[in-house]
Structure 1
């Protein structure tokens, strides 16, 4: 890494994916670059994070990405805690032991700690509650529902990833300001004993929900899709796949006119595919595979000109499919309708 030490005016350095396992002096060299604004060292096989640095010269650094490395340490890297100019910090999948303190990182807006164990103490989450975070990723961190209340002051939060944790209860409305959150990923938790109606309660109580992306994939949810889902009118992405959701597709979903991705696959949804589906003109992905849908394919599918992925395999669909079903699907590049009882009839 010594070749970098002469680049004193360097602002942006990205060596992500480069094998730096032998660069034991990486931080000492980086510390000689006082003009550095962005540093990307993701997946570089780094192992030594150098917990103690006598004098840190990286006073301009606003983005630090050390994700995907192998920092097995017993003391937190104190130098990170002193980088008050940091706006974005990514320590995902870095296998850190104790995490650095975030108390002094008052400029921090983007923080990603996915794949680190946050459950040795609730102190980390409590420190985050006083920050101005816009985006927080704490996926696969072993977080239980009892610790979520620690995040109640995150009123600036717009994006939250809580996937692959141990959540079992409804997300409290006091979490940050839930009525302002635009993206939330709650997939792969343990909401099996909660209905979708109850799970969505905190969002539906908002006067004007801002939610644009919601993932509940793989939660063993056993209920119907409630009519109230139509109140989330700004949704662009809705993923309820890999659950045990039953019943028909509710007519209230016709109000979700901004939907770009709808994934209801691997459930027990029955009834017919409604004709109004063709009015969801923004749809790019429609995945309905592995359900119990019956009836015929509605002709209105052919109106979804932005659709690039369509899957309805392994249902009980019957009837005739003609070219009119696909005539206007000019963007389609993935189609899977296997495992049904459909007959294709070409137009003459």
Structure 2
């Protein structure tokens, strides 16, 4: 009954090219996907409503569709083989629904497909083998499968797929197997094992490397400094290179932030909570475009690279819970954008660096767990330092010249006193 208020009118528009009804949620809108009869439609956007049905058969008659957006509904059931009839699709967004089971192999018929988003569904069980059909789609640039409850092993075809994609997000699943490399790669919170692949170093456009909460072991590749997109200053040309890359959740300062239209501005390496060992590669200090570097909760040893201050744009630096040795490089005071620092629970020693941003890092938890570390945390005092802080000249302290003048004054007073007293004593005798 509800559909009678609006669909007959819509279906009379036989030449309609685009239909956008996102976030309607009007009383006249039915809870099931309405029947749309015209086949000239190029764009259909029914996102952010409350549809609860399965995908109806009539949808597969819209063979001219180039964009289909059904995101953020309550759609259920399987994705039917009929999906392959929509051969003109370039953009397919089915995220934030309750689709189940696998993906039909007919998806390989969508030869024009550029972006495919199935995030936040319930695709439990084996799914990736059927997705192998995507490897033949040469125009495909974006695949989002994060939070889709996928439990599977990464198949061999993924090694081919990553050469075509600009963006892949399969984070927050139960994936296992060996690793692959990509320009933008998020494999957060899975069960990947093995070492970080050297192939990553050859990805000239990589600007987000997101591998936390896995079981990676071995050294961080020394060639990580070859990531050319993180070695140059940001320019306006970057907006043309990257453009819109999809949506990605990035953990920053313990908070989960979602980026979409400004994703190309995010420059991050997060390898935290793995089993990485060895020293921090010196080449990492050449990645001057980095905004976030998180290597916490690993087994890294050796010194913090002396030139860490080269990371002049880094805002978040977390090296906590490792086995790092030596002093905090004084060069780090040059990182004037730094606003979140954590060096706790290492084996650092000597004094805390001073100057610039370090004057604002007064929270002792930043440095706790380093038994041999000492230095001034606050402008008015020092922690674990037996020597009182020196007060610089001009702020009430005394330099060598003032001390010499005072000594000369005291000597002259003594000589004058004995001169007068001595003369008086001689006359008396």
- The TM-score bracket by the shorter chain reads 0.7 to 0.9
Partner of 2:414: none
Whether 1:213 aligns to 2:213 is: no
Q: How far is 1:126 from its partner?
A: 3.0
Q: How many residue pairs align between the two structures?
A: 324
**d(CA) in 2 for partners of 1:238, 1:52:** 44
Normalized against structure 1, the TM-score is what?
A: 0.75
**d(CA) in 2 for partners of 1:55, 1:169:** 37
Q: How far is 1:276 from its partner?
A: 0.9
**d(CA) in 2 for partners of 1:54, 1:217:** 40
Of 53, 61, 65, the residue aligned with 2:58 is: 53
Of 7, 32, 45, the residue aligned with 1:25 is: 32
Indicate the structure with greater helix content.
2
Partner of 2:117: 112
**d(CA) in 2 for partners of 1:81, 1:48:** 20
- Aligned CA distance change for structure 1 residues 308 and 261 (closer, same or farther; 3 Å): same
Whether 1:136 aligns to 2:148 is: no
**d(CA) in 1 for partners of 2:157, 2:82:** 29
SS at match of 1:103: helix
Q: Gaps (5+ residues) in structure 1? A: 172-177
Partner of 2:195: 195
Contact kept, 8 Å, 1:143 with 1:167, in 2: the verdict is: yes
Q: How far is 1:103 from its partner?
A: 3.0
Q: Deviations over 1:76-134 (max 9, x none)?
A: 34664433343222233533234353133222111122354375466632321221210
SS at match of 2:218: coil
Q: How far is 1:322 from its partner?
A: 6.5
Higher relative contact order at CA 8 Å, sep ≥6: structure 1 or structure 2?
A: 1
- Aligned CA distance change for structure 1 residues 260 and 56 (closer, same or farther; 3 Å): same
**d(CA) in 1 for partners of 2:213, 2:279:** 19
**d(CA) in 2 for partners of 1:148, 1:138:** 17
Q: Deviations over 1:32-87 (max 9, x none)?
A: 79767352524x5543123322774584551414256351x2x5346644333432
Contact kept, 8 Å, 1:190 with 1:220, in 2: the verdict is: yes
Partner of 1:292: 323
Contact kept, 8 Å, 1:300 with 1:325, in 2: the verdict is: no
**d(CA) in 2 for partners of 1:278, 1:68:** 47
SS at match of 2:333: helix
Q: How far is 1:324 from its partner?
A: 0.8
Of 215, 223, 229, the residue aligned with 2:218 is: 223
Of 146, 164, 176, the residue aligned with 1:167 is: 176
Of 89, 92, 100, the residue aligned with 2:92 is: 89
Q: Gaps (5+ residues) in structure 2? A: 231-266, 380-390, 396-429
Q: Deviations over 1:4-24 (max 9, x none)?
A: 6457676533219x699x933
**d(CA) in 1 for partners of 2:364, 2:89:** 44
Contact kept, 8 Å, 1:284 with 1:307, in 2: the verdict is: yes
Higher Rg of the two aligned structures: 2
Q: How far is 1:218 from its partner?
A: 1.4
SS at match of 1:111: strand
- Aligned CA distance change for structure 1 residues 285 and 86 (closer, same or farther; 3 Å): farther
Q: How far is 1:345 from its partner?
A: 4.7
